[in-house]
């Protein structure tokens, strides 16, 4: 019997519940790392994405400024940002509300404004701008309680700077390309920076050294030795200009006899801590103490600001406040936390009841705090294993400087002792730390002790050694990166946030080179600067450029209209442009015959302009790649062999030194430029131990770098 299967009724499909996906608030910042940190603080109701910097800018292929229509900028979407913009539009369309949380400065405000245009946000109705000075949970959450509208004064200040720089750069550069050489450029801040380097070099070249002598001595008291220096004669401070004066002093001395202590001044001296860092002082100190280039400093600071993953409960957190600031102001909360830390860590006597207030730099913007750690409780050592070497070193510097700024003064016991014999007076100065004060947290700022033995008026001391030594006054030093940043800031030119790019530009254009970490103008740099200075004097004028910066600050404060600021600059500048087009003669930088043949292939050698100035190269390049450096005679005969000429040479690292033209037969070498006086006196300094590894004069005149 066949079996039968009863058919079962089909199951009805289950009804889907009517659910709506809850819309999230969208937050847009500049960088992915910043987005990651902030999203963790805001929770599940927020989605944080990055614009990856600017999304709109002036076009690279044209001026992009409508001069006839109130200097209207012609913004376009930045090439390569299409997918980013598309993604932002999609996210914004699906969002409950859009917040723009770019950096709290002019540039950040402009990014927010450009985003609002791209995303069709209502600038008048919406309060979607959020700013915070530090990326910590409390600071971020508090900022989102107080959104505001976009500050158009800040935007206009940024637009004015961008338009001004475009007008200058895109107007002068084509003339330089046409009249001098392709690839050249000029700009408001870069021309001033280059001018400072050239002016300093001119001072150095024009400097005439003056002779002077020192008489350093060593005295003994009860087997204790201490150093002193000649001070004067018969109660008056006396200069020692030459050897004649030295002999006059020595004739008055009985070097084996007793010397009397005639005056002892014991005082207490206080050294106050410096204020916490601004952008500029951070750049300068990182350069001098950590040997960081300006760009390296700003990159490390950006990483510390945007957030470092510390693991554990803290996760990713911003370690310092915003790193682009002119202010030394500190919030009351930060002061309170620092005071608690200092009392607990070092003792109440180290905590300043009223930390020293510093005077703000003229024209400084006080919108943000100084650069400080977001929490002093995160000591450098406690998070060292979470940081790279550069991050750790910079964070340690910022942390120490801030904590020190909230501490008491260092106290030193000082002693000034006058020692005499026959009217010849010597001075000895000593100091000893009595109370460490702020240097407890900032050891790098501590003064070294220079202890003197117990000395009283009437004591006799013995002369152990007297060393007359001839010296010559030195020219002003070339600018290091730190010194150039300081000079720009002191002159009110540019802003600290732009200094890294400015310094990088004048090097990239080959207008300056680094020699022993100091800037030296190249022949090309001098040529360009002279040309720009002749036809566009305002662009190279420090006071004029500083005045423009003041105008831009006034735009930010709402005190001036940005179009009027540009118009006041551009109308006279436009006349200079027309004059330059007509009157500037074409400067031909053509290769010249060197006057001798290539020692490799026999073809004529040429004099070419290269990165570091002129050099010799074979005319058959690239078939023959023989090159030679050009050695310059300085018009002096070698003091060692008497027949060679002293020539200027360069090491492989680009450092200048002076040597005999007969090398290797004569090995005379000097790091300092010899003069007739130094050679006659036999006092030209030879190589110093610190630079023995700098390739000295033993390098050949051939170069391995092929240039054309």
Residue 594, pLDDT score: 83
Residue 687, pLDDT score: 38
Q: How confident is the model at residue 359 (pLDDT cuts 50, 70, 90)?
A: low
Report whether pLDDT(609) > 90: no
Q: How confident is the model at residue 586 (pLDDT cuts 50, 70, 90)?
A: confident
Q: Give the chain's mean pLDDT.
A: 87
The more confidently predicted of residues 99 and 364 is 99
Contact in structure between 189 and 494 (CB atoms under 8 Å)? yes
The per-residue pLDDT for range 143-184, each reduced to its tens digit, is 999 999 999 999 999 999 999 999 999 999 999 988 887 888
Report whether pLDDT(696) > 80: no
Residue 18, pLDDT score: 46
Report whether pLDDT(250) > 60: yes
User: Under 8 Å CB-to-CB from 381, ≥6 apart: which residues?
Assistant: none
Q: Which residue shows structure tokens 């957190």? A: 317
The per-residue pLDDT for range 227-245, each reduced to its tens digit, is 999 999 999 999 999 999 9
Question: How many helices (H) and strands (E) are present in the chain, helices listed first?
Answer: 18, 26
Residue 2, pLDDT score: 41
Question: Residue 577, Cα to own-chain centre: how many angstroms?
Answer: 32
Residues assigned a catalytic role: 322
The more confidently predicted of residues 667 and 215 is 215
* SS3 call for 402: helix
Q: How confident is the model at residue 699 (pLDDT cuts 50, 70, 90)?
A: very low
* SS3 call for 189: helix
The count of other CB atoms within 10 Å of the CB of residue 363 is: 14
Plot region of 516 (φ>0 → left; ψ -120 to 50 → alpha; else → beta):
left
Report whether pLDDT(430) > 60: yes
Cα separations (Å) of 583 from 403, 576, 579?
Answer: 59, 10, 6
The more confidently predicted of residues 466 and 678 is 466
Residue 12, pLDDT score: 54
Residue 664, pLDDT score: 82
The per-residue pLDDT for range 508-554, each reduced to its tens digit, is 888 998 888 899 998 889 999 999 999 999 999 999 999 999 999 99
What is the DSSP code (8-state) at residue 699? S
User: Under 8 Å CB-to-CB from 68, ≥6 apart: which residues?
Assistant: none
Q: How confident is the model at residue 653 (pLDDT cuts 50, 70, 90)?
A: low
Residue 337, pLDDT score: 95
The more confidently predicted of residues 704 and 654 is 654
* SS3 call for 644: coil
Pinpoint the alpha helices (H) of 494-591: 496-508, 523-535, 537-540, 542-556, 562-583
- What average pLDDT does range 12-33 have in this prediction? 72
Q: Which helix (H) or strand (E) is 268 found in, with range?
A: strand 258-271
Report whether pLDDT(502) > 90: yes
Q: Which helix (H) or strand (E) is 73 found in, with range?
A: strand 72-73
Q: How confident is the model at residue 498 (pLDDT cuts 50, 70, 90)?
A: confident
The more confidently predicted of residues 422 and 677 is 422
Closest of 456, 409, 450 to residue 432, by C-alpha = 450
Residue 102, pLDDT score: 95
In b/e form, how buried is each residue of 686-704, taking b as 16+ CB within 10 angstroms?
Answer: eeeeeeeebebbebeeebe
Question: Which domains does the chain show, CATH number per domain?
Answer: 25-150 (3.40.50.140), 159-207+477-583 (1.10.460.10), 211-272+410-472 (2.70.20.10), 279-406 (1.10.290.10), 592-670 (no CATH)
Q: How confident is the model at residue 573 (pLDDT cuts 50, 70, 90)?
A: very high
């Amino acid at each position: 019997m066949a079996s039968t299967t009863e058919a079962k009724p089909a199951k009805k499909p289950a009804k889907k519940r009517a659910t709506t996906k809850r819309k999230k608030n969208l937050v847009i910042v500049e960088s992915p790392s910043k987005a990651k940190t902030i999203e963790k603080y805001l929770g599940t109701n927020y989605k944080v994405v990055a614009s990856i910097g600017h999304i709109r800018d002036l076009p690279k292929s044209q001026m992009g400024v409508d001069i006839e229509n109130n200097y209207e900028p012609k913004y376009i979407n930045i090439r390569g940002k299409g997918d980013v913009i598309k993604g932002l539009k999609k996210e914004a369309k699906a969002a409950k509300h859009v917040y723009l949380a770019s950096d709290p400065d002019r540039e950040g405000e402009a990014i927010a404004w450009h985003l609002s245009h791209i995303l069709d946000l209502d600038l008048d109705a919406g309060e979607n701008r959020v700013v915070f000075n530090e990326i910590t949970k409390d600071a971020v959450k508090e900022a989102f309680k107080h959104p505001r509208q976009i500050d158009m004064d800040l935007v206009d200040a940024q637009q004015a700077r961008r338009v001004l720089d475009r007008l200058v750069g895109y107007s002068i550069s084509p003339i330089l390309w046409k009249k001098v050489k392709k690839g050249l450029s000029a700009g408001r801040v870069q021309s001033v920076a280059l001018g400072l380097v050239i002016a300093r070099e001119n001072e150095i070249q024009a400097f005439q050294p003056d002779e002077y002598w020192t008489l350093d001595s060593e005295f003994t008291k009860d087997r204790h030795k201490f150093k002193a220096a000649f001070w004067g004669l018969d109660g008056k401070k006396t200069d020692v200009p030459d050897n004649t004066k030295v002999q006059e002093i020595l004739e008055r001395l009985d070097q084996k006899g007793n010397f009397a202590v005639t005056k002892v001044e014991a005082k207490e001296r206080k050294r106050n801590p410096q204020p916490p860092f601004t952008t500029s002082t951070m750049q300068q100190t990182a350069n001098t103490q950590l040997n960081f280039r300006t760009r390296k400093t700003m990159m490390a600071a950006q990483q510390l600001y945007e957030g470092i993953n510390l693991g554990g409960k803290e996760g990713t957190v911003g370690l310092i406040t915003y790193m682009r600031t002119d202010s030394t102001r500190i919030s009351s909360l930060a002061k309170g936390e620092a005071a608690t830390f200092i009392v607990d860590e070092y003792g109440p006597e180290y905590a300043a009841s009223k930390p020293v207030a510093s005077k703000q730099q003229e024209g400084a913007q006080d919108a943000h705090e100084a650069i400080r750690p977001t929490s002093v409780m995160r000591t450098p050592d406690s998070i060292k294993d979470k940081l790279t070497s550069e991050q750790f070193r910079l964070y340690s510097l910022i942390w120490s400087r801030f904590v020190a700024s909230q501490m008491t003064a260092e106290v030193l016991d000082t002693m000034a002792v006058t020692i005499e014999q026959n009217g010849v007076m010597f001075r000895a100065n000593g100091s000893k730390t009595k109370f460490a004060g702020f240097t407890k947290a900032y050891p790098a700022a501590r003064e070294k002790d220079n202890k003197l033995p117990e000395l009283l008026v009437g004591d006799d001391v013995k002369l152990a050694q007297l060393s007359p030594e001839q010296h010559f006054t030195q020219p002003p030093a070339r600018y290091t990166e730190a010194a150039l940043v300081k000079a720009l800031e002191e002159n009110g030119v540019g802003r600290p946030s732009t200094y890294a790019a400015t310094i990088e530009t004048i090097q990239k254009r080959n207008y300056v080179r680094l020699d022993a970490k100091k800037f030296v103008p190249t022949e090309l740099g001098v040529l360009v600067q002279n040309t720009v200075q002749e036809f566009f004097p305002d662009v190279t004028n420090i006071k004029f450029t500083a005045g423009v910066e003041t105008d831009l600050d006034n735009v930010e404060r709402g005190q001036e209209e940005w179009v009027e600021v540009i118009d006041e600059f551009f109308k006279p500048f436009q006349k200079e442009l027309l004059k330059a087009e007509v009157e500037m003669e074409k400067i031909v930088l053509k290769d010249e015959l060197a006057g001798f043949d290539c020692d490799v292939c026999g073809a004529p050698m040429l004099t070419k302009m290269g990165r570091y100035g002129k050099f010799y190269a074979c005319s058959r390049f690239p078939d023959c790649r023989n090159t030679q450096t050009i050695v310059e005679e300085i018009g002096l005969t070698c003091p060692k062999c008497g027949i060679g000429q002293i020539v200027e040479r360069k090491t492989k690292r680009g450092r200048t030194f002076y040597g005999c033209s007969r090398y290797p037969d004569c090995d005379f070498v000097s790091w300092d430029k010899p003069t007739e006086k130094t050679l006659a006196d036999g006092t030209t300094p030879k190589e110093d131990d610190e630079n023995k590894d700098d390739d000295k004069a033993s390098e050949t005149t051939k170069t391995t770098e092929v240039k054309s």
